[in-house]
Each structure stands twice: as C-alpha cells, then as structure tokens.
Amino acid sequence: MQIDILTVVPDLLASPLSHSIIKRAREKNLLQINIIHLRDWALNKYGQVDDYQFGGGAGMVMRCEPLANAIDDLQKEQPYDEIIYVTPDGKQHNQQIANELSLKEKILIICGHYKGIDQRIRDLYVTKEISIGDYVLSGGELAAAVIVDSVGRLIPGVLGDETSALSDSFQDNLLAPPVYTRPAEFRGLKVPDELMTGNPKIIDAWRDEQALKRTEERRPDLLQ
C-alpha cells in the first residue's frame, strides 16, 4: 500500500511514522509512505501556498493552485483510490474506517493549515474527510500520523500472530480485557487465577467476560 501525505510541515510527520510496527511495515515494503512538501508547488519564489480569505476574517486559507497541481502531478501514473482531507469538521475516525482504508492500494492525505483549504479543492478532489476527535489541532499532520498508524498496522502481513489486530480494542466493538505479565504478585496484587490455569477455555472465557464488563462500564455506546 502507498500512502502519500501532502503537508507544509513535513518535519512533524517524519518521526511518528518511523518507529515500531510502522517502521517494520515500511522496511518490509508492505507500506510505502511518501511525505510530500506542498511548497514544491508554491505560487512563487517565496514559497507562498496560502492567501487571505474572501469575505474577510482572521486566518489564511490554502490556495487551490498549489494543491490542484500537486495532486494532478502525483496521480499522473496511477490515480488515488481515496483522497482524504483531515479536518475537525470531518467524520470521526474509527476502527471501521481504518479497516476499510487498509484495503486500498494508493491513498493521499492532505494536511490543512491556517484556516484550512479552499472549499473548491474539497469539492473537486477530496473523497473522504476525517477528524480524529472533537478538539482542534494546529494542523492536520498529527491527525494524519494517527490515521496512517491505525491503517498501516492493519495491512495484511504487518502484524504477526503474536500481535494480531484481532485482539485489539474495538476490533469487535469491545474494549480489550486487562493484561498481566510477571511477577505473579506485585504489591499484594495477584494476577487473576483464570490466567494462571493454563487452560485456554477458561482463559478465553475470562477475557471475553472482562472485555464485556469493561465495555459496559466505560463505553456502553459501543454495545448499542
């Protein structure tokens, strides 16, 4: 899978996508991430990509021409399966969207800055608008990193059996059960007996029960 990310702050994206599972996915060539600097399509030698809003108001807006020219160039050989704009007014990201995106071949994520991008780019190019939650970030880069991480780990072959996504929170609309490692007792707190039985039936039943209990207590909305 290829994920291109169009940004005016490429430095914000480099590190979060170069570690752990995502690093290995890139090394195995299951995931290609290209961080692309929008200034390469700037309007002038000053690197301008934004302008004042029509109608007035504080804050700049990212202009159409650099974005349109960049997108046209980037899909000359192979069109994008999805062009995503990350924005606080998008649909809230979740595991189902991550699952769907992980099956695509080539996607573009556009990171907005300032007051966002000209509406006409959204009308003409964008196929999906995603927010990562009800709060405002300074730009779309950290949201893009969150989305790429959540998608990249789901690409077939990225996770081994031992880290299978099947046991993650949300994968079946349940939160994950508690987990324990050694020592078997810490400051008077013991690991639940069920996990120490070595009996897969008892262990699975305990995990299912705990996942359900946690979800009922913390996220009853997931059970609707």
Q: Report strand pairing: 50-52 vs 60-62.
A: antiparallel
Out of 24, 37, 60, 139, name the contact with ligand 6GU by CB under 6 A.
139
- Tokens 């969207």 locate to 97
12 annotated as a binding-site residue: no
Nearest Cα neighbor of 67 from 19, 27, 119 is 119
Q: How many CB atoms lie within 10 A of CB 103?
A: 12
Q: For residues 117 and 155, which CB has a smaller minimum distance to ligand 6GU in the complex? A: 117
Q: For residues 42 and 111, which CB has a smaller minimum distance to ligand 6GU in the complex? A: 111
Q: How far is the CB of 86 from ligand 6GU (least distance, A)?
A: 3
Q: Are 214 and 175 in contact (CB under 8 A)?
A: yes
Q: Are 66 and 119 in contact (CB under 8 A)?
A: no
Residue 89 engages ligand 6GU in binding (rule: CB under 6 A)? no
Q: For residues 113 and 207, which CB has a smaller minimum distance to ligand 6GU in the complex? A: 113
Q: Report strand pairing: 189-190 vs 185-186.
A: antiparallel
Residue 155 engages ligand 6GU in binding (rule: CB under 6 A)? no
Out of 137, 165, 191, 222, name the contact with ligand 6GU by CB under 6 A.
137
What sign for the dihedral angle of Cα 74, 80, 86, 90? positive
- Site size with ligand 6GU, rule: CB under 6 A: 12
Binding segment for ligand 6GU (CB under 6 A), chosen from 8-16, 67-75, 139-147, 148-156, is: 139-147
Binding segment for ligand 6GU (CB under 6 A), chosen from 12-20, 48-56, 128-136, 200-208, is: 128-136
In angstroms, the Cα distances linking 150 to 76, 94, 154 are 27, 9, 7
Q: Are 50 and 113 in contact (CB under 8 A)?
A: yes
Binding residues for S-adenosyl-L-methionine: 112, 132-137
Residues that bind ligand 6GU in the complex, under the rule CB under 6 A = 86-88, 131-133, 135-137, 139-140, 143
